[in-house]
Amino acid sequence: MHNIDDWDEDVLKRYPEPGKPAKAKDEFRNYDSPGTDGVREFYRLNHKYQTYDNVLAKKANFLKFDKKEMPWWSAMEFLNTLIDDSDPDTSLDQLQHLLQTAEAIRADGHPDWFVLTGFIHDLGKVLCLFGEPQWNVVGDTFPVGCKFSDKIVYPEFFSDNPDSHDERFNTKYGIYSHHCGLDNVQMSWGHDEYLYQITKDHLPEPALYMIRYHSFYSQHREHEYDHLLNAHDHEMFKWVDKFNPYDLYSKSPVEPVVAELKPYYEDLIAKYLPATVKL
């Protein structure tokens, strides 16, 4: 993909805002080559390489949190260096997407930890700045270690994934059991799991579910993995469902002014999170 955000735009095409007509294709950004080719190629790589072993290897590396340590606000600015110059009409930088998501949550009167969650939910995309390819950072997430649902976008590309041909992993349950609970399930690697691991001791549980599963569209939109969720997961997914529209549909015509909002978000960070974040 030209830009890491092309994936988000593609999700929006798949799941348009209810009650609003789906955007015509030409309302979305266009490149010299059609954006869909880039997204298709992105998923070809994602589905081929997101194996059970990939997840364990990425966890072994990134959950050491030995790459960088900095104040949270600085980390948000660090994330914001993730801008693709080749994109002729970058609509939003990372910080704008996060502020717009958070401000929409705040405007609806939700608790402050929910607002904070909106503000930081994509910080895990700093993985790109550590050299990770896009397919290991963004895109729909899904369980590994069991059969890939055919409701995941571009399911045909899973035939190139070695796990599809490994009898430990290619059955409905694979290495898991009936209603074993998502905490026992390995998800494909990406910015969701990474930020969950960073924040898991600091935020209320609904916030952690939103962070950890916000790209798990085959569950929160398609309910394809009900057999792995336990009752508690179902309860918590109500929060994931509540969060998702803010992530997808909060693009505002008027861009929030970072300098004006910074004090409010600095206070929120100070209330819930340690002074620095280890990445």
Binding stretches for Fe ion (CB under 5 A): 122, 247
Indicate the residue among 224 and 247 with the shorter CB distance to Fe ion: 247
Indicate the residue among 233 and 247 with the shorter CB distance to Fe ion: 247
d(CA 159, CA 161): 5
Measured from the CB of residue 247, what is the shortest distance to Fe ion in angstroms?
4
Indicate the residue among 122 and 193 with the shorter CB distance to Fe ion: 122
Measured from the CB of residue 191, what is the shortest distance to Fe ion in angstroms?
6
Residue 78 to residues 39, 43, 125, 191, Cα–Cα distance (Å): 25, 26, 10, 15
Measured from the CB of residue 248, what is the shortest distance to Fe ion in angstroms?
8
d(CA 150, CA 172): 12
Coil, strand or helix at 187: strand
Indicate the residue among 96 and 230 with the shorter CB distance to Fe ion: 96
Phi/psi of residue 277, nearest 5 degrees: -115, 135
Measured from the CB of residue 229, what is the shortest distance to Fe ion in angstroms?
20
Measured from the CB of residue 187, what is the shortest distance to Fe ion in angstroms?
13
Coil, strand or helix at 274: coil
Q: Do the beta carbons of residue 219 and residue 225 sit within 8 Å?
A: yes
Measured from the CB of residue 70, what is the shortest distance to Fe ion in angstroms?
21
Indicate the residue among 51 and 250 with the shorter CB distance to Fe ion: 250
Contacts of residue 173, defined as CB under 8 A and 6 or more positions apart, other chains included, come to 146, 227, 228
Indicate the residue among 51 and 94 with the shorter CB distance to Fe ion: 94
Closest residue by Cα to residue 76 from 246, 209, 195: 195
d(CA 84, CA 124): 17
